[in-house]
Amino acid sequence: MVSDQPKSDLSTQRNLSCSAILREHLDIEAVRGRVDDALGLRLAYGYRLALNTLERFDLLDRPIKVGVEPARVPTLTEIMDRFSPERLSHLTDYQKPTIVIKPPHKTYQDYVQAFSIYHEHGVSNGPLITSFGLRDPWSGVDYCAYIVEAAGKMSHRNDSLISSLKDRVKYRKGARRQGECGMDRILYYLLSMQSITRGRMIDENHFTVLDAEPMVVNRYIPIGQCPKGQPSIDWVLPDTVNGARGRFRRVLRGSVG
């Protein structure tokens, strides 16, 4: 639930700047000629959703010290320029692709805190995930853009549900095409936030395998799920009997602006 507390002048200016981008750049001209019109409309909407989500959860970049300007939010045109035509061609078989934007200068705790403040259900974390510490989230100096499969209920096309989860992860990593990467916990949190913003949750009955993250203590596979509307980072054993509930979301990574 969005906080009713007044924002600082700096936060207000940042939000106004973001809103101006929404008004000026939300059209398919930025994607026309790169993808077909239907996909272009989906990506344009995804861009707006991504910005609205960063605003809602107060994750837009802040000045890290006096006299240093915050990173500028990229326009949709600038984001599309980060994806080559070859990489964009991968999207033809993606399940409801959308744009996800990682903000700079954020720690893992920043995302947990954002959920706690702005979402009534908060967020849940499996103890082994936080205790053993996965790789650090994106903490560069610029916004980083991705195009992610965002279907609420992912199908298991090209995935063998009878294989062990560990073997399925190995297969998915080997099947990645140029520019593709796996799903990590920060991308999953951002995708969950976007689903909260649009009012339609992902993964209420299935879970997403975080195949960009390492196995925990060489045994447990990190997953993300949203039971009863509560985003959760958990872990499962590679041979879990619930492995058939697991799904993979493909991720297309753009170059850093």
Tell me the per-residue pLDDT of 44-79, one tens digit each, with 9 for 90 and over.
Answer: 999 999 999 999 999 999 877 667 788 899 999 999
pLDDT of 2 higher than 70: no
- Render the chain in DSSP notation, one character per residue: ----SPPPHHHHHHHHHHHHHHHHH-SGGGTBTTB-HHHHHHHHHHHHHHHHHHHHTT-S---SSTT-PPPPPPPHHHHHTTS-HHHHGGGGG-SSEEEEEEPSS--HHHHHHHHHHH-TT--EE-HHHHHH--PPPP--SS-EEEEEE--SS---TT--TTS-HHHHHHHHHHTPPTTEE---HHHHHHHHHHHHHHT--S-SSSEEE-TTSPPBTTTBEEEEE-GGG--EEEEE-TT-TTGGGEE---EEEPPP-
Percent of the chain residues topping a pLDDT of 90: 42
Residue with more model confidence, 72 or 20: 72
pLDDT of 129 higher than 50: no
CA separation, residue 133 to residues 129, 137, 215, 216, 217 (Å): 6, 11, 11, 9, 10
204 with 98: CB under 8 angstroms?
Answer: no
pLDDT band, residue 149 (cuts 50/70/90): very high
pLDDT band, residue 148 (cuts 50/70/90): very high
Distance of alpha carbon 186 from alpha carbon 191, whole angstroms: 9
pLDDT band, residue 28 (cuts 50/70/90): low
pLDDT of 241 higher than 70: no
Most confident segment among 79-88, 101-110, 215-224: 79-88
Residue 249's pLDDT is 95
pLDDT band, residue 133 (cuts 50/70/90): very low
26 with 48: CB under 8 angstroms?
Answer: yes
